[in-house]
Structure 1
Amino acid sequence: MNTQSKIRFLAYTAIVAALYVVITLSFSWMAYGPIQLRISEVLVLLAFIDRKYIPGLVLGCILANLSSPIGPLDIGLGAFATFLAVFFTSRTKNLFIATLWPTIFNGLIVGGELYFLGFATNATFGIHPLIFSCVSVAIGEFVVVSIIGYILFNVILKNKNIVNALKITGKDF
């Protein structure tokens, strides 16, 4: 990897991490908690375009979760969920299927985390709190990534100029 490729990779990583943090914190009122719509999660679909976005997305999640009301556990588990989501997203050939990985991993991991830390209770609906917690996080992810993200990235993927501009990978990278 030459110096120019390294600089490009570091720049993209920093920009994506910063975007993830800024978007998450700008909408923090709905980004944390048992029912969450983390708008920044739409960025995970960048990994569908280029695997080199994975470090920036995971770093962005770590930095955004420094503000989490749950604390240090959310930094680790949230980053782990994001890593799994973007890893599988980057290896999936179908865009819609790729959008489901964040829904699955965040629903299970973050939903489980919220339940076990006591942030999720739901006596009102008569649903077991663990199931409610996992489903509520998964629904938020589905809305942001599988609906909004799918529509947005479908448009992006139809424009080869935008796709080429978003690719980090060079022939020597």
Structure 2
Amino acid sequence: MSAEPTLAEHAELSGPDAATLRQVMGHFCTGVAVITAHDGERPHGFTCQSVVSLSLEPPFVSFCPTKKSTSWPLLREARHLCINVLAHDQKAIASGFAVSGADKFAGVSWSPAANGAPAIDGTLARIDATVEVEHDAGDHTIVIARITDLTADVDREPLLFFKGGFGDFNAH
């Protein structure tokens, strides 16, 4: 009878290299969102494809910004977020918010959500949330946020990310 491996022994197990992991996980189609906040002086945001509904009671959503993000620390400080789920025709917005250091809101029409975070016009859905807790997870951070309000446009189609590129979904 053998004992269960310790955490240190698990850490020594090898896994796939980063390129293989990215290539295989790229086969998992995801939605695309822009997560935004306003610090009282200016809006901030970044593109994210790791948004997931976490809990109905209490209402939690989760997402995972990279630790290299220069935007996430600014959003974290603001605490009140808007998760803008992008529609099929918002690829340019997704690409613009994925660029570090750019004026990401240039040419983007938005209005303040109830919590003050920027709600981008024309999105598929909007989730207003407040940061509850963060967990360390390798080269990313797992953020858990409490949903305070949400809405969806049932007539819009989603922007999707698959195999490193954007696409859409035609349900008809």
TM-based fold match above 0.5: no
Greater strand proportion = 2
Larger radius of gyration: 2
Q: Which has the higher helix share?
A: 1
TM-score scaled to structure 1, two decimals? 0.25
